[in-house]
Structure 1
Amino acid sequence: MNKKAQFLIAAPSSGSGKTTITQGLLRYLKNSGLNVQPFKCGPDYLDTKHHAWAAGNVSINLDTFMSSKTHVKDIYNKYSDRAAISVVEGVMGLFDGAKKMEGSSAQIAELLDIPIILVVNAKATAYSVAPLLFGFKNFYPGIKIAGVIFNFVGSESHYQFLKDACEDVGVSPLGYVPKNEKLHLPSRHLGLQVSDVSQYDSIIEEIAKHIAKTVDIDKLIEITTIPFKESQIKSVNTKGKLKISVARDEAFNFTYHENLAALENLGVVTFFSPLKDKQLPPTDLLYFAGGYPELYLEELSSNKSMKNSVKEFCSNGGRTLAECGGMMYLCDSIIDSDSNEFPMVGFLHQKTSMENMKLRLGYRKVHIDEAIFYGHEFHYSHIKNPLKNLAIGEIYSARDKKMDTYLFRKNNTIASYIHFYWGEKNIMDLLF
């Protein structure tokens, strides 16, 4: 059996700096000439973009709530097959899941049988990390904490206390990352900003250099090099004949890679820009993912020929899936945070607004007749006077609480705030 370095980067809680350290490690490994495959636990479609920039390979979501465990194992093995090293970034705290550990980083580490590198915020602690490390190491026997990287460390002498704690607990200390106020990733709106790639790239290079000075990356690779189970997925050459149009530009880009891969199995995928193109390409299935339409309201509103093309397609019964920002685009208008109103496609006769922004976040289960679909909701806008007469199905949280989120159906258009995951299924069977 082949061996390769593979590990999951986790933390006791959000805010520990695991995203920054993950980005820096990915870039360092890439710069070292290694073919590194990034993954992201959970439904985040923004961190995966930045993984790809840092590593040079597309990043894949691993989510045991929205997809089956078999699917998670299959795609992990499939994409890791081609790489020298696989790096999985966790989500929230190590054991934080939709329900207890369900969907957590710990569950995925156990499922994939890979070691965990813990990132600990040591800003205001020293030897007292010992009981924290002991608890994370021994709380759940199905996982292995292989090593620890300490973040926000004040000095080498500070690190010595932390190192002592590791040695007494029996966990490998892998070094530390000193405080550096200049090395912050760009701020997030609904995630890391995607607009300034060159700025991001220069920052990530500096983070990689900064980490390498005080983190023993060679030791990290050594202790995480374990047997790798090669992919058992057999390639299938069958391909459908649908013409599929996917909106992708600065305003619409929140997509899961495996969703797009599943669409490619159904036919020919063509990307288009609602911002810049004048009309839809020839289309059998139209997909609007979420994104940042609220940042491009003037451009979207002024592109009348594209809006007319989309409205005509939907009005004539064209099969359309519009998620979150995509749904907002199909509405009569979008109102910005300053109460300025911008006309949109006008197919769904309701308005969405960024006024009085409030975060809606969480996994969603959608029940339609006997079928259950899975997805995720993450937005700050809201619908004014939603079209309840067009709502279908019932929507629940991960804890089976009924939600007031709506899934609209008009003609053959499905629209909602929910980002669906269909990477292991046929979207045509799911929704049309």
Structure 2
Amino acid sequence: METSISQFLIAAPHSGAGKTTLTLGLLRALQGRGLRTQPFKCGPDFIDPIHHSTAARRQSINLDAYMMSPDHIKDLYQRYTADADVAITEGVMGLFDGAQKREGSSADLAVLLQLPVILVLNAKAMAYSAAALLHGLKTFDPALTIAGVIFNFVDTATHYRLLQEACEDVGVTALGHLPNEKALRIPSRHLGLDTADAGEAIAAAARHIEKHLDLDAILAATRAPRIAFSRAPRPATAPQRSKTILVARDAAFHFLYPENLRRLEAYGRIQFFSPLSEPHLPPADLLYLPGGYPELYLEQLAGNKTLLADIRSFASKGRILAECGGMMVLGHSITDETGKPWPMAGILNIATTIQEKKLALGYRTLTLDGQSLKGHEFHYSQFVQTPAAANGINLAPAGVKGIVQPPAAANGIVRNARGQEVAAPVFHGPNLFASYMHFYWGESAGPLEAWLAR
């Protein structure tokens, strides 16, 4: 029997138009109606999916055309929408903004998955000029379907009528408008969103949207028969349940891709623990320290001396996988914004600081031992001193090597989305794999495959 689903991608001409607030409000409002509402996020971001999952009470999934193949994206989308009534994908940056020109953009994802697009337009200081902007977004790519536009920061009916006239003249459906609401504020991204404040902000966004938008009209405008994508066979991996994989997950460490965890389950049994509250490391074969915000909890982390000692001891007998904030904790110290260094595990001969913030941002591809692994960097902390060249790093446990570009490393290179080599140290060896990069191995673990399977 043919089934249908309301599905759409929320996009804007630029960042700051209100995509996230609209997405969260719709997710919570529709979930509140009893609809099974599945959220997705275009791109590698961790924070927005945390918002989404809280709002929809259902796990949000990243869809990223740089880190994932088209077949993998289709497989994820079909799998997670199989029992959903509504699917909402939040776009990234502007509609056509990608890693290179439009490559990997929200528009490319919408075309790939045949999703209609609902535009969000900040119309605070705009009237009929909206017609030219909407005309451009509508006609730039004929393969893209614009389902309609929601105007944000529109306080009067007269203003909205002018915007409706602009829509009529270019053939774009006006799906409503939202007035400015000063009390409606999503908590700071840097403080994370898995908080009581975030929950209240999401509830407020839902109330705001239910009051001003016709949700039935939005659902009707985006309802269509489900598309059955041809799904590539998923790699068969025999679970090794005798192994225990310890994953840090708390307020300081929570940048985790659900599909990465699913793939990890093929190598052993996952057990979560909190470096902030647990005084000892539970028994395990592999320790995974993901990214997050350790810099916000330095006193607690440094004060948990028994756990840091356990991690040092574990490094000589088990394996450690660490990304960004997790890598920082493996160094000698992390310096806070006041200039005070806090002692950490001391496994890596590095020290990092948040005192002088410097943004490192972008997609990365690691090529190691003839295999590739994709990921991204997003951090404001930095090394106190640039790690030495590959053969000059003295690390524990023995046998760990550091890959640093430039100069070119002996057996590994990191490149950005344009194929240019970048300075992104990767520390690797039989018992350790660590870097500032957040890797995605939900589809293929590349050079990590054999390392994880040991």
Aligned to 1:188: 189
Contact 1:350 1:387 (8 Å CA) reproduced: no
Query: Which of 213, 216, 234 pairs up with 1:215?
Result: 213
Contact 1:289 1:324 (8 Å CA) reproduced: yes
Deviation track 1:79-106 (CA, whole Å, cap 9, x = no partner) reads 0001111000000000000011211100
Contact 1:331 1:345 (8 Å CA) reproduced: yes
Q: TM-score normalized by structure 1?
A: 0.96
Distance, in Å, in 2 between the alignment partners of 1:126 and 1:179 is: 16
1:410 CA drift (Å): 4.4
1:237 CA drift (Å): 9.0
Distance, in Å, in 1 between the alignment partners of 2:376 and 2:329 is: 19
Deviation track 1:135-159 (CA, whole Å, cap 9, x = no partner) reads 0000011210111000011211100
Aligned to 2:202: 204
1:277 CA drift (Å): 1.3
Aligned to 2:117: 116
Question: Any stretches of 5+ residues in structure 1 without a counterpart?
Answer: none
Q: Classify the secondary structure of the residue corresponding to 2:265.
A: helix
Q: CA RMSD in A?
A: 1.6
Q: Which amino acid aligns with 2:81?
A: S
1:337 CA drift (Å): 1.2
Distance, in Å, in 2 between the alignment partners of 1:384 and 1:6 is: 47
Instruction: Give the fraction of aligned pairs with identical amino acids, expressed as a percent.
Output: 49
Q: Classify the secondary structure of the residue corresponding to 1:376.
A: strand
Distance, in Å, in 2 between the alignment partners of 1:371 and 1:217 is: 47
Contact 2:71 2:232 (8 Å CA) reproduced: no
Distance, in Å, in 2 between the alignment partners of 1:234 and 1:373 is: 20
Q: Classify the secondary structure of the residue corresponding to 1:408.
A: strand
Deviation track 1:226-249 (CA, whole Å, cap 9, x = no partner) reads 121247577879422231110111
Q: TM-score normalized by structure 2?
A: 0.91
Q: Which amino acid aligns with 1:378?
A: F
Contact 1:373 1:430 (8 Å CA) reproduced: no
Distance, in Å, in 2 between the alignment partners of 1:27 and 1:49 is: 13
1:328 maps onto 2:328 in alignment: yes
Distance, in Å, in 2 between the alignment partners of 1:280 and 1:364 is: 31
1:349 CA drift (Å): 1.6
Which range moved further: 233-242 or 121-130? 233-242
Contact 2:332 2:350 (8 Å CA) reproduced: yes
Distance, in Å, in 1 between the alignment partners of 2:271 and 2:192 is: 25
Question: Any stretches of 5+ residues in structure 2 without a counterpart?
Answer: 391-400, 404-411
Contact 2:373 2:445 (8 Å CA) reproduced: no
Distance, in Å, in 1 between the alignment partners of 2:207 and 2:251 is: 30
1:422 maps onto 2:420 in alignment: no
Distance, in Å, in 2 between the alignment partners of 1:5 and 1:238 is: 37
Contact 2:253 2:293 (8 Å CA) reproduced: yes
Q: Classify the secondary structure of the residue corresponding to 1:153.
A: coil
Contact 1:388 1:406 (8 Å CA) reproduced: no
Query: Which of 224, 235, 257 pairs up with 2:222?
Result: 224
Contact 2:252 2:296 (8 Å CA) reproduced: yes
Q: Classify the secondary structure of the residue corresponding to 1:315.
A: coil
Aligned to 1:391: 402
Q: Which amino acid aligns with 1:391?
A: G
Q: Classify the secondary structure of the residue corresponding to 1:348.
A: coil
Measured at CA, do residues 364 and 237 of structure 1 come closer, stay the same or move farther in structure 2, by a change above 3 Å?
A: closer
Distance, in Å, in 2 between the alignment partners of 1:362 and 1:282 is: 35
Contact 1:252 1:292 (8 Å CA) reproduced: yes
Q: Classify the secondary structure of the residue corresponding to 1:349.
A: coil
1:194 CA drift (Å): 2.9
Distance, in Å, in 2 between the alignment partners of 1:415 and 1:387 is: 15
1:199 CA drift (Å): 2.0
- Runs (4+) of structure 1 moved beyond 6 Å? 233-237
1:409 CA drift (Å): 1.7
Aligned to 2:76: 75
Aligned to 2:19: 18
Which range moved further: 209-218 or 159-168? 209-218
Q: Which amino acid aligns with 1:423?
A: G
Contact 1:120 1:149 (8 Å CA) reproduced: yes
1:3 CA drift (Å): 1.2
Q: Which amino acid aligns with 2:353?
A: S
Aligned to 2:255: 254
Aligned to 1:349: 349
1:101-112 equivalences in 2 (<5 Å): 101-112=102-113
Distance, in Å, in 1 between the alignment partners of 2:188 and 2:323 is: 24
1:396-407 equivalences in 2 (<5 Å): 396-407=415-426
Q: Which amino acid aligns with 1:305?
A: T
Q: Classify the secondary structure of the residue corresponding to 1:366.
A: strand
1:224-373 equivalences in 2 (<5 Å): 224-230=222-228, 232=231, 238-241=238-241, 242-316=243-317, 318-373=318-373
Distance, in Å, in 2 between the alignment partners of 1:430 and 1:166 is: 55
Distance, in Å, in 2 between the alignment partners of 1:203 and 1:377 is: 28
Q: Classify the secondary structure of the residue corresponding to 1:164.
A: helix
Q: Classify the secondary structure of the residue corresponding to 1:334.
A: strand
Aligned to 1:46: 47
1:38 CA drift (Å): 0.2
Measured at CA, do residues 129 and 105 of structure 1 come closer, stay the same or move farther in structure 2, by a change above 3 Å?
A: same
State how many pairs are aligned: 428
